[in-house]
């Protein structure tokens, strides 16, 4: 069975999240410049009421996360995703989770636009986003400094009419 689902993250899953966010490879791909602890994570969640922090489950096992930052004024959502469990990467779990998340955003929540950022060297993520129908809007040049090096981020978006056109 290869079942993927997403649901609101439960406190019992915070430990996985903290471990993943402190993994060097995830930090580089996600742009984190320092370690995160449990108290900081819980405080961060409390300070951002527009954010939905969702767990990606593969056969009911927590393997990654999706962060949705809702902007109600503009009917838009900023999306972030990562598969934290390295044994689950490259198996289509992220693609399945993205499909579920996009249905949730566009169908259930009735939002107009979803947008995201990705580092220009994150080729697997870029391939996934383009396959799903995201449109590249531009580049934020030297927008992120990590270990003394500036990195570019690519901006992608999808409109609700584009998602409905695919499915």
pLDDT digits over 3-17, tens only? 999 999 999 999 999
| Residue 23 confidence (pLDDT) | 86
Digit-coded pLDDT (tens) for 19-60:
998 988 888 887 778 888 899 988 988 899 999 999 999 999
- Rg (Cα) of the chain, in Å, rounded? 16
Domain boundaries, the chain: 4-166
> Could you tell me the pTM of the whole model?
0.90
CATH architecture label of 4-166: 3-Layer(aba) Sandwich (3.40)
b vs e for 135-152, b when ≥16 Cβ sit within 10 Å of the residue's Cβ? eeeeeeeeeeeeeeeebe
């Amino acid at each position: 069975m290869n079942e993927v689902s997403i649901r609101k993250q439960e406190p019992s899953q915070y430990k996985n999240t903290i471990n993943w966010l402190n993994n060097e490879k995830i930090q580089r791909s996600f742009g984190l410049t320092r370690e995160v602890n449990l108290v900081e994570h819980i405080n961060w969640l409390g300070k951002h009421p527009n954010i939905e922090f969702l767990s990606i489950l593969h056969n009911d096992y927590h393997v990654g996360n999706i962060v949705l930052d809702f902007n109600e004024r503009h009917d838009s959502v900023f999306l972030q995703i990562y598969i934290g469990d390295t044994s689950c990467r490259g198996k289509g779990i992220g693609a399945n989770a993205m499909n579920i998340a996009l249905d949730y955003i566009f169908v259930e929540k009735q939002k107009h636009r979803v947008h995201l950022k990705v580092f220009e060297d994150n080729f697997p993520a870029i391939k996934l986003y383009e396959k799903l129908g995201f449109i590249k809007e531009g580049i934020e040049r030297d927008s992120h400094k990590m270990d003394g090096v500036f990195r570019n981020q690519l901006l992608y978006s999808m409109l609700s009419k584009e998602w409905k056109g695919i499915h």
